[in-house]
Amino acid sequence: MATIIAGTDANAAVLLSSCLNEKGIAIAPCDTIYGILGCAPRTETRIREIKGRGEEKPFILLHATVESVLAAADTEVPAPLLALWPGPLTLILKAGIGKTGFRVPADSFLLDVLKRTGPLFSTSVNRSGETPLWRIADITAAFGGNVDMIVDGGDLPGKRPSTIIDLSEKPFTILRHGAAELSDEVLGLCK
């Protein structure tokens, strides 16, 4: 059964980072909705098993800084999109031989964790194909036996996931309208 810690606990970031650095899988608020987190790349298989998700769909990579994303990716990111980071925007960028979704969160708690762990896989808290869970009681009941730690940030009703834009080809494609508000300038770059 997962260790449950309060998001308001003064040691929460340290405890969560320690769990993740020891190859643990955790659930925590991710400045949009709750996310299943694990250190990249070593936890990918376990997260896929927990979600029941095939290998065809990659996970988002959370980074602590814009600079670290730009160093890891092979895609130039226009200034209007860079201006939305940190924040609830996921960009699909060319990286290595494929494409990867990257996000730099604005949440200070999550940024503190990322500085201690390095890049983290992040995916919504749900079984593949189902609606993301937002009630902490539902999350604990559904995933408490599968993950190592849950950070209780309370229920998160009405929260929206990140906006996703694919920058791997032009014109760019909005894959999901989410929490990031897009300016007319950004919308003009997308089909």
Buried b (16+ CB within 10 A) or exposed e, 41-71: eebeebbbebbebeeeebbbbbbbeeebbbe
How far apart CA 153 and CA 45 sit, in angstroms, is 26
CB-CB contact of 142 with 36 (8 Å) = no
- Predicted structure pTM score: 0.93
* Residue 190 per-residue DSSP state: B
The tokens describing 162, both together, are: 């990140």
Q: Which residues of 100-122 are buried (b: 16+ CB within 10 A; e: fewer)?
A: bbbbbbebebbbbbbeebebbbb
Q: Let me know the angle formed at the C-alpha of 182 by 180 and 183, rounded to the nearest 5 degrees.
A: 145
The total number of structural domains that make up the chain: 1
What's 19's domain CATH number?
Answer: 3.90.870.10
pLDDT digit of tens for each residue in the chain (191 aa)? 899 999 999 999 999 999 999 999 999 999 889 999 999 999 999 999 999 887 777 899 999 999 999 999 998 899 999 999 999 999 999 988 889 999 999 999 999 999 999 999 999 999 988 999 999 999 999 999 999 999 999 999 999 999 999 999 888 999 999 999 999 999 888 87
Q: Say what the pLDDT of residue 19 is.
A: 97
**Domain limits for position 179:** 3-188
The one-letter amino acid code at 55 reads E
